[in-house]
């Protein structure tokens, strides 16, 4: 399972990269705005800065147009920024048409805002490289986000779709473990959720004991 970090914060991306487990980055317009990245040129420059940190990892850059021509225009510009850019396109009718267009041109895409198995089927048929089912936002409205991942894994397996399932809207370390159990290809997570996987009280207690015993024996 690949690990992406879900942020536009360069320090957090560097921290995840330095940990040695980072396979890529996802961003969205809200995450870019949260970092104060505004204006088209600044946004494009920021994507390049992210790509330069993550080496060979994929970086999802989201379009803000909702009409076919606009999505194509934006996606073309984004895809030319860096080899690792994946154009993130919303799951709407015009988006599906654009994903098919990009797929035919060899431009990689991430179909975002997936909330149902039917949407996942359409995106795969159109040739999306990745789909992003949003687990946390489903859980927020008392629907089962992990169950959606299980359904899509099953459906894609039936037909050997090559589209990768990129579980998004991860809110905690347990979501990551459940996605791994379900067979998601990728999880994109806030850095604290990744770091949360490190934690176990028995690890802390065991290490403290080992160090104390060593000190007692060796002075
Ligand atoms: C990433 O691709 C998604 O845009 C992101 O995971 C959404 O997360 P949120 O539901 O926590 O905003």
pLDDT at 6: 98
Q: Residue 175's beta-bridge partner residues?
A: none
* Per-residue pLDDT tens over the stretch 106-120: 999 999 999 999 999
**CA–CA gap between residue 176 and residue 193 (Å, rounded):** 8
Contact, 89 vs 63, CB < 8 A? yes
Give the residue whose CA is nearest to atom 11 of ligand 1.
169
Give the residue whose CA is nearest to atom 6 of ligand 1.
169
**CA–CA gap between residue 76 and residue 156 (Å, rounded):** 28
Give the residue whose CA is nearest to atom 5 of ligand 1.
169
Global confidence as pTM? 0.97
**CA–CA gap between residue 59 and residue 63 (Å, rounded):** 13
pLDDT at 166: 98
pLDDT at 185: 98
* Per-residue pLDDT tens over the stretch 178-215: 999 999 999 999 999 999 999 999 999 999 999 999 99
Question: At a CB cut-off of 8 Å and minimum separation 6, what does 10 contact?
Answer: 49, 50, 53
Q: CB of 29 closer than 6 A to ligand 1?
A: no
Cα end-to-end span (Å), the chain: 44
Tokens of 84: 């690792």
Distance 204 CA to ligand 1 centre (A): 31
- For 62, the 3-state DSSP assignment is strand
Q: CB of 136 closer than 6 A to ligand 1?
A: yes
Q: Which of 2, 5, 6 to mutate to test the pocket of ligand 1 (most atoms within 8 A of CB)?
A: 6
pLDDT at 152: 98
* Per-residue pLDDT tens over the stretch 57-67: 999 999 999 99
**Spans in the chain with pLDDT lower than 50:** none
């Amino acid at each position: 399972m690949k690990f992406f970090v879900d942020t536009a914060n360069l320090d957090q991306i560097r921290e995840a990269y330095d940990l040695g487990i980072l396979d890529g980055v996802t961003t969205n317009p809200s995450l870019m705005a949260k970092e104060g990245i505004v204006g088209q040129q600044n946004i494009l420059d920021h994507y390049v800065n992210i790509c330069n940190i993550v080496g060979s990892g994929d970086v999802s850059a989201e379009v803000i147009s909702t009409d076919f021509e606009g999505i194509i225009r934006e996606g073309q510009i984004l895809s030319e920024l860096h080899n690792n850019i994946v154009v993130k396109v919303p799951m709407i009718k015009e988006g599906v048409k654009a994903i098919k267009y990009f797929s035919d041109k060899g431009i990689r895409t991430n179909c975002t805002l997936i909330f149902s198995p039917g949407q996942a089927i359409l995106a795969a048929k159109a040739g999306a490289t990745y789909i992003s089912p949003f687990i946390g936002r489903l859980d927020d409205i008392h629907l089962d986000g992990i169950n959606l991942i299980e359904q899509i894994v099953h459906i894609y397996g039936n037909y050997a779709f090559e589209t990768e399932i990129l579980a998004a809207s991860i809110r905690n370390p347990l979501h990551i473990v459940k996605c791994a159990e379900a067979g998601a290809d990728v999880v994109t997570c806030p850095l604290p959720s990744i770091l949360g996987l490190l934690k176990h009280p028995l690890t802390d207690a065991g290490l403290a004991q080992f160090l104390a015993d060593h000190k007692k024996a060796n002075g």
